[in-house]
Amino acid sequence: MKATNNKKRLDGKVALITGATGGIGEATAKRFLEEGASVMLVGRSNQKLKETYERLCKFEKVAHFVADATDEKATEAAFEATVKAFGGIDILLANAGTEGKFAPIESLTLNGFESVLRTNVIGVWLSMKYAVEPMKKRGGGSMIALSSIAGMIGSPTMSPYIASKHAVFGLVKTAALELAASNIRVNAIGPGPINNRMMRSLEEQFNPEDPAAGHDFVLSLVPMGRYGTNEEVANLALFLASDESSYCTGSIHMIDGGFIAG
């Protein structure tokens, strides 16, 4: 009888996912679990975390922890809880993010600008900070930060979001250089229009009177003529989390239907 290799791509690996209750976060958690990883779901809403956990608990090797990605003590506690539950950390998906509100620079409040940067930049930085030591103890790891096509372009009225996503790319490149000698890889994913809650919000802000027209406007900018799915982003995250990407670090991986190519 021919032997079969049933080893999965993330067997024995432990992943922590921030923003785990969002569309991309949950889809990625599901893919990681399907491929054998143990997964800690982290989010700031206890109710949403419970709902996400209930949809994924059939996989058994999954737990959840309430923490705001911008709260240092809570973030540190989430990493400690993951190590206690699963024995270490091999993979980080820093996925917590917010789009904020659109407004011209002169109309923005300082609080409005700072709140987006706190979640999208400081939240990523804190997760990286507390992932380093657990990953070093495991002999290496993979950090994946969610940025956006917004990290590659400018766009009127979106200064907080644009600035924050540019910053994530810079942070990823710097962390990759710092951590390469410790066998910790650091990469970024830059999604374009993805069919989820955030895009509904962006469409409405592009055209408050007619969100459907906002959708059509965004779609007109995508050469492939469609939105991406949460699952497509999750598959890219799986590649970056696995040993298949063992020579990838400091890289920006766009998944945007050709949006940035033009």
pLDDT in tens, 102-157: 999 999 999 999 999 999 999 999 999 999 999 999 999 999 999 999 999 999 99
| CATH code, domain with 119 | 3.40.50.720
Find the domain containing 216 and state its range: 194-227
Question: Are 68 and 188 within one domain?
Answer: yes
Question: Are 91 and 216 within one domain?
Answer: no
Question: Are 101 and 177 within one domain?
Answer: yes
Confirm whether 161 is a catalytic residue.
yes
pLDDT in tens, 186-195: 999 999 999 9
DSSP 171-216: HHHHHHHHHGGGTEEEEEEEE-SBSSHHHHHHHHHH-TT-HHHHHH
Distances (CA, A) of 247 to 75, 107, 176, 180: 29, 45, 12, 10
Give the rounded percent of residues in the chain with a pLDDT score beyond 90. Answer: 89
Question: Are 208 and 80 within one domain?
Answer: no
* Catalytic choice (130, 161, 227, 247): 161
Please name the residues in contact with 261: beta carbons below 8 A apart, sequence gap of 6 or more.
223
- For residue 218, what are its two tokens? 């965004």
pLDDT in tens, 65-116: 999 999 999 999 999 999 999 999 999 999 999 998 999 999 999 999 999 9
Q: Is 4 among the domain residues?
A: no
Question: Are 104 and 205 within one domain?
Answer: no
The residues pairing with 41 across neighbouring beta strands, listed in sequence order, are 17, 64
Quick check: 138 and 88 in contact, CB under 8 A?
yes
Q: Is 2 among the domain residues?
A: no
- For residue 65, what are its two tokens? 């922890």
Question: Are 164 and 218 within one domain?
Answer: no
pTM: 0.95
Tally of domains in the chain: 2
The whole-number pLDDT of residue 1 equals: 45
- For residue 163, what are its two tokens? 């600035």
Burial class (CB in 10 A: 0-12, 13-18, 19+), 24: buried
